[in-house]
Amino acid sequence: MKHVRLGILVTLLLAPFTARAADRPNVVLILADDLGAHDVGCFGSTYYETPNIDRLASRGVRLTNAYSASPLCSPTRSSIMVGQNPARTGITAPACHSAKVILTKKLVSGNARVNVANSVTRLKPTYHTLAEALRDAGYATGHFGKWHLGHNMAPGDAYEPKDQGFDLDWPHAPRAAGPLGGYLAPWERFISDPAIKDDIGRHVDERMADEAGAFIRSSKGRPFFINFWLFSVHSPWNARADYVGYFRQKTDPANPQRNPLFAAMVKSMDDAVGRLLRHLDESGEADNTLIVFWSDNGGYAYPPKQTDPEGYAEIPATSNLPFRSGKASLYEGGTREPGIVVWPGVVKPGSTADFLMQSTDLYPTILGACGVEPKAGQKMDGFDQVSALQGGPSPRTHIFCHFPHGDARRDAVMDGFYAGSSIREGRFKLIRFYARADNGSDELELYDLSEDPGEHHNLVHEKPELASDLNELLQRHLVENEAVIPVLNPNFGKGPSNADATAKKKAPASHELPGGWKNRAGEAVVHDGVLTVQSTGARSFLGVAAGITPGTARIMFRIRAPQAGEGRVVLLSETGGAESLSVPYKVSGDSVWEAVTLELPVEEKAGILRLYLPQGSPAVDLDEITLSLPAGKPRRWSF
């Protein structure tokens, strides 16, 4: 009798916990890459076709004031995983595929007019990520798609999805910022798993949806968290030819969204989302699943320069109108997103909400929906928006964004691609551009977004008190987040100083460079760890003794070029010196650091490796090169 009573008592004590566990929703977080605020039908596009995302919106609430934490991808991704502002974490640029591990945020000097931040390149393992919080609460956790928050380069590194709380990671391609070689199978340059045999032409996001579907089925009886981070619609500008042809017939030249290739990319993205939703419906779990749809930054509102198929390079990929500019800009086009939340039985289907919500809010909101408390001591910049999603008030009163990067040379094309910070409170938004005035002082811009969503009428002189108040609020955020603040470069335009002369050295007549590299291009200069090479044409290259044995090698390097173009990595055989392998690569020409990763299938021992510079760029910068060998330790060069 005593044991029976004890059993009843235990059952009664555990009943509330068991009920809560059973009621906890599954979570599917769909993150598009570079999808603009109006790049889907339910958010106003009349050109792109997104029936699956539109159907998703009909199940829940459309958020008309949804924001990313940054106008570029990795910072926003970090904000989702830890609920903190990029200004706080120091991940302020898409540098997390870099081979160089940088864990301390700081200001760096360079040759530009303004010294900007040197972004952190890894999401530190010390953070308690969203995946770790849910896994600790009993969730099965799976990451599918792009990561771009760090990869492991040495024993003891712990920066990849399985190190950050995920039970499963597919396709585990952390070194690739995007699907190298294109979205359509075969994916030899992107997915290295030899067991993957796919039909030619299949889109990687569709395959990813099927892998997520298998994960759903394997998680029966246990709540699951699916981090579905699409590769679409980021470059490469590559799409199915039949889809491109369909949209070419549909194009209206008067529509600012008129690039058939990008429209085809959007359609493939929507196909993948539809495939994922079908798996969820068929599993019987749809009615107990919280679904969030977001984007990591605004749409790419500029000409893509290189397309496959060809012929669409000079048409802006998309348009974010009426919002100004796009990706990489602090104007609304750079950070406004198509936010959707579906929560059956909780969020009203087919509804619209205009409260402010930022990507930093996803961490606490998802935990709140799942009845999970954040880890004690975890700093949280985001807000739990569960009440607002149910129609109640929102705890968020303003949006803060810090983007300590940019290049005045590119500002004319990527309008607003300049180091700055912004704050939005209510209808008004203030932007502070650092050291942009002729005398090196900051410049302020103030806009009334309710009257001027295109941010064309600067009110800073008409409303000086409001501008001052918002600037003070912005400053408090910068101080509280310990943000790295760009400053005017005191040596800009003055020529090399004595210190520069010591740190800066031209390649001697022998063309020798650090690490045994030989320069077979134009003048080469090393300054502050960056190698700048003046190209002399299509035959310009850097070379180094390689000694690569047969097998699969991999080369990774960071490169910055002012013009788009294609280069190649060439291996010369050890016997005879004939060219035995040539692998092409491309640069965007956006004057931003890009990571290139190339697989090198070596069939005969290679004696020399040549890195040919991109054609069309008069000069390129390189700051690190890593060569992973079929056998032995990787070789790394820093300049």
Q: Dump pLDDT digits (tens) for 398-411.
A: 999 999 998 766 66
Question: Are 567 and 611 contacting, i.e. CB atoms less than 8 angstroms apart?
Answer: yes
For residue 174, the model assigns a pLDDT of 64
Place of tokens 């991999």: 554
Beta bridge partners of 520: 541
The most confident of 254-258, 565-569, 585-589, by mean pLDDT: 254-258
Mean pLDDT of 597-602: 90
pLDDT in tens, 495-513: 544 444 434 444 443 456 7
CA distances in angstroms from 417 to 327, 367, 402, 591, 614, listed in the order given: 9, 34, 12, 11, 24
The fold of 25-87+123-153+169-394 is Alkaline Phosphatase, subunit A (3.40.720)
Mean pLDDT of 205-213: 96
Strands 26-32 and 224-229: parallel
Mean pLDDT of 61-77: 97
Closest CA to 584 of 566, 565, 603, 602: 566
Mean pLDDT of 156-184: 86
Residue 268, Cα to own-chain centre: how many angstroms?
19
For residue 511, the model assigns a pLDDT of 56
Beta bridge partners of 543: 518, 610
Report the alpha-carbon distance of residue 307 to residue 435 in Å, rounded: 36
DSSP state, residue 46: S
pLDDT in tens, 321-362: 999 999 999 999 999 999 999 999 999 999 999 999 999 999
**Coil vs helix vs strand at 177:** coil
- Given a cut of 60, is residue 2 above it in pLDDT? no
Question: Are 435 and 421 contacting, i.e. CB atoms less than 8 angstroms apart?
Answer: no
| 28 vs 501 pLDDT, higher one | 28
| 601 vs 502 pLDDT, higher one | 601
Count the helices and strands in the chain (H runs, E runs): 14, 29
Least confident of 21-25, 68-72, 602-606: 21-25
Report the alpha-carbon distance of residue 65 to residue 43 in Å, rounded: 11
State what percent of residues in the chain have pLDDT above 90.
63
Domain range list for the chain? 25-87+123-153+169-394, 402-488, 500-638
CB atoms within 10 A of CB 524: 24
- Given a cut of 50, is residue 473 above it in pLDDT? yes
Q: Where are the alpha helices (DSSP H) in 435-537?
A: 464-480, 498-503
Where does residue 92 fall: left (phi above 0), alpha (psi -120 to 50 degrees), or beta otherwise?
alpha
CATH for 402-488 is: 3.30.1120.10
Q: CATH 2.60.120.260: does it fit domain 500-638? A: yes
Mean pLDDT of 541-550: 89
**Coil vs helix vs strand at 267:** helix
Give every CB contact of residue 464 below 8 A, 6+ residues apart in sequence: none
User: CA angle at residue 83 from 80 to 87, to 5 degrees?
Assistant: 95
Give every CB contact of residue 499 below 8 A, 6+ residues apart in sequence: none
Length of the chain as a residue count = 639
Report the alpha-carbon distance of residue 133 to residue 150 in Å, rounded: 19
Burial bucket for residue 406 (CB in 10 Å: 0-12, 13-18, 19+): buried
pLDDT, averaged across the chain: 88
Question: Are 624 and 100 contacting, i.e. CB atoms less than 8 angstroms apart?
Answer: yes
Structure token pair of residue 219: 């998680």
Question: Are 141 and 218 contacting, i.e. CB atoms less than 8 angstroms apart?
Answer: no
DSSP state, residue 287: G
- Given a cut of 90, is residue 7 above it in pLDDT? no
- Given a cut of 90, is residue 13 above it in pLDDT? no
